[in-house]
Amino acid sequence: METIHLAQKSDFSATHIPLPSSKSESNRVLIIDALTEGENKLSNLAEARDTQTMISLLEKNPPVFDVLDAGTTMRFLTAYAAITNQNKVMTGTPRMCDRPIGILVDALRTIGAEIHYLGVEGYPPMAIHGLSEQKSEKVKIRGDVSSQYISALLMIAPLLPKGLELELEGKVGSRSYIEMTLDTMSHFGISYEWIDNKITVAHQAYQPTTFAVESDWSGAGYWFSLLACADSGELFLSGLKENSLQGDSAVVEIMGQLGVKSTFKDGGVLLEKQPVKGLKHWDFTHCPDLAQTIAVTCAILGQNATFTGLESLKIKETDRIYALQQELAKFNADLKEVEPEVYQVIPSVTMPAEVKIHTYEDHRMAMAFMPLITKTRVSIEDPSVVNKSYPSFWKHCELTGISIVSQS
Ligand SMILES: O=C(O)C1=C[C@@H](OP(=O)(O)O)[C@@H](O)[C@H](O)C1
Ligand SMILES: C=C(OP(=O)(O)O)C(=O)O
């Protein structure tokens, strides 16, 4: 397995990082595009493997939709195959087949889709045999496992002859992603109502238009973290908007407490260092993809922050709680469960001369630990794992002057 070695570096002179586009926005507009009669003009689609996989499956339309390790691609294409009344097998990597999908399948079956599991009940792979007649226009769905099930159903809702009323039950996680879905749908002419826990979408048609995908705020987070941990410097991140559809833009507020000042200008954000105010607590319920970034930043900066809203981390690309605990321990830090579902960062007090990070087939493990280079030498195993969301990540590290040596 390839490993890369990163030299220690803690000063960053002004560097422009040409951030990649958001895979979450891209995967939504691709599904909406496939469901629109007429031509849309989509620009800045993500280079992320998750998006490239979506593009290729929609274009080639093979009988087996192998989504690899892409959660949104799996969940959105499952609903898409049903509404377009296709026979498809949905599958992915072994980890993808360990990530639950029963809540979405149950909802689609209630609406009228015929879906059979090919392995374990509630998990991919499964065979979809389309949706020939709408049996119900009202569906109740748990909101605490993955918002991707809700987004998948919402995007097909306008095409259902009777529309759809989704009743969200219990705690709703990753709400910002549901809002991103609805905002994107309304950009393509769809109207909806969201009152209390009910979202209603009537039968209507997507209207062709143009859509430019914004840069990726989850990817931006690693540069905020690098500057927060550095001794000095500034960075410019291009293609980010102050009023973003992406909930991970919360990183501006979090990093404001961890010593990074953000100024929106020239179509992006200038990051500069400012005194650390301190982070006491953050609830990651609506921005789970930032949790690893902020955990590592706090561990490096000596912040004993408590974190909540980490429940969904266990069913992502890996069990991210376990993975974080294992890797933080390598520099004498921890993410300790101090009460049920309340985690406290135990910062590092002694830093080894080199730390070797195992990445658990999770792009965010590789990228979140990169800022450790401000304190020590770092080796990262399986660096190509970043291709899932940010294939140019290591090239961008080199732009900032970080020296990287690869060893196979
Ligand atoms: O809809 C989306 O684009 C996403 C929703 C989130 O997943 P969950 O809803 O499963 O938390 C997030 O973690 C994922 O990276 C992308
Ligand atoms: C959880 C993620 O992606 P997905 O669920 O779409 O695989 C992620 O990118 O961090």
| Tokens standing for residue 64 | 């087996």
Q: Say how far apart CA 176 and CA 251 lie, in whole Å.
A: 13
Burial class from Cβ neighbours inside 10 Å (0-12, 13-18, 19+) for residue 76 reads buried
pLDDT of residue 408: 85
The alpha carbon of 151 and the centre of ligand 1 are apart by a number of angstroms equal to: 9
Burial class from Cβ neighbours inside 10 Å (0-12, 13-18, 19+) for residue 89 reads middle
According to DSSP, the β-strands at 354-357 and 377-381 are parallel
> Same domain for 181 and 310?
no
Given ligand 2 and candidates 316, 359, 385, which is best to mutate, with the most ligand atoms within 8 Å of its CB?
A: 316
> Same domain for 8 and 51?
no
Burial class from Cβ neighbours inside 10 Å (0-12, 13-18, 19+) for residue 134 reads middle
> Same domain for 92 and 16?
no
ipTM: 0.99
72 C-beta closer than 6 A to ligand 1: yes
- Give the side-chain half-sphere CA count within 13 A for 272: 6
Q: Which of 191, 212, 233 is the last residue of a domain?
A: 212
> Same domain for 389 and 321?
yes
> Same domain for 397 and 349?
yes
> Same domain for 347 and 370?
yes
Tokens 């102050």 belong to residue? 242
The count of structural domains within the chain is 2
Q: Which of 166, 182, 212 is the last residue of a domain?
A: 212
262 C-beta closer than 6 A to ligand 1: no
Q: Which of 177, 193, 212 is the last residue of a domain?
A: 212
Question: From the alpha carbon of 72, which atom of ligand 2 is closest?
Answer: 6
pTM to 2 decimal places: 0.98
pLDDT of residue 227: 98
Tokens 């049903």 belong to residue? 82
| Protein residues whose CB sits closer than 6 Å to any atom of ligand 2 | 70-72, 289, 316-317, 364, 389
pLDDT of residue 213: 98
> Same domain for 184 and 253?
no
Where in the sequence numbering do the catalytic residues fall? 289
> Same domain for 102 and 235?
no
> Same domain for 142 and 271?
no
> Same domain for 35 and 175?
yes
Instruction: Determine the structural domain holding residue 154 and report its residue range.
Output: 23-212
347 C-beta closer than 6 A to ligand 1: no
Question: From the alpha carbon of 289, which atom of ligand 2 is closest?
Answer: 10
Q: Digits of tens for pLDDT over the chain (408 positions)?
A: 999 999 999 999 889 999 999 999 999 999 999 999 999 999 999 999 999 999 999 999 999 999 999 999 999 999 999 999 999 999 999 999 999 999 999 999 999 999 999 999 999 999 999 998 999 999 999 999 999 999 999 999 999 999 999 999 999 999 999 999 999 999 999 999 999 999 999 999 999 999 999 999 999 999 999 999 999 999 999 999 999 999 999 999 999 999 999 999 999 999 999 999 999 999 999 999 999 999 999 999 999 999 999 999 999 999 999 999 999 999 999 999 999 999 999 999 999 999 999 999 999 999 999 999 999 999 999 999 999 999 999 999 999 999 999 998
> Same domain for 180 and 328?
no
> Same domain for 197 and 227?
no
Given ligand 1 and candidates 24, 49, 249, which is best to mutate, with the most ligand atoms within 8 Å of its CB?
A: 24
Going edge to edge, which strands form the sheet with 377-381?
354-357, 377-381, 3-6, 404-407
pLDDT of residue 13: 87
Query: CATH no. for residue 250?
Result: 3.65.10.10
Give the DSSP H or E segment for 153. Answer: helix 147-156
Residues belonging to the chain? 408
Residue 65 neighbours by CB under 8 Å, 6+ apart: 57, 77, 81, 88, 89, 90, 91
